[in-house]
Amino acid sequence: MRMDKFLSQTLNVTRTEAKKMLKQGRISKNEVICKDGAEKVIPQTDVVCLDGTPIQYEQFHYLMLYKPAGCVTATEDAHAKTVMDYIPAERRRNLSPVGRLDKDTEGLLLLTDDGALNHRLLAPGKHVPKTYYAKIDGTVTEREVTLFAEGLEIGEKKPTAPAILEILHSAEQSEIRVTITEGKFHQIKRMFHAVGMEVLYLKRLSMGTLQLDETLAPGAWRKLTESEIQQLKEEQS
């Protein structure tokens, strides 16, 4: 692999930015300063450093964002704040959200430049479970648990796939946890509307094996751990 490509992939910078680092003498390979973008690098054995700090090779990048309410799930939007506005500019290149959360929904959102994993997580045939916490205007009972498990008519050609509804608190304003395996537009809101109730607050807790890091504040992000990445890939292989 060329040095400029290695730097571009690992640091998530453009080739031009990588070449600038090389010209400035900030890059070394095996303790020797390197200024040539065409220099060959073997990621598994060569030690490449930026300003003396070793660079860990990453072919793809995986970020967990605690999406706050009030922003749209898009890479850019002329009229609204997007989820990418919470990611530093130097880390955004080629990243895309995996799926979407409504503007007023918050919680777990995965951002990656791994197109193959993105596709697998969203493929309808994979039935990747997604779990949400919600506050509901209405008293949720075992009746709704049964209806969700059977599938609901929400104006599509087919009823929704069976969903797991768990009641956390049943009152005039209920609290629930619900797991779905589809990603229809406004699906959870439409499912509760179908049983005569309204979603007041919605937060995604998990997607497949990936759980929202509750130590993150809304708008904060972190890189996925190697374990989290591996579990996602194994689940979708």
Q: Based on the residue annotation, tell me whether 46 is a catalytic residue of this protein.
A: no
**Structure token digits, residue 121:** 């997580």
Half-sphere exposure of 85 (CA within 13 A, CB side): 14
CA distances from 218 to 65, 85, 90, 116, 132 (A): 8, 13, 21, 28, 16
Query: Any residues with CB less than 8 A from the CB of 201 and at least 6 apart, and which?
Result: 134, 135
Catalytic residue among 36, 46, 77, 102: 102
Q: 117 CB contacts (<8 Å, ≥6 apart)?
A: 60, 98, 232, 233, 236
Give the span between the Cα atoms of 176 and 233, in whole angstroms.
29
Catalytic positions, written as ranges:
102
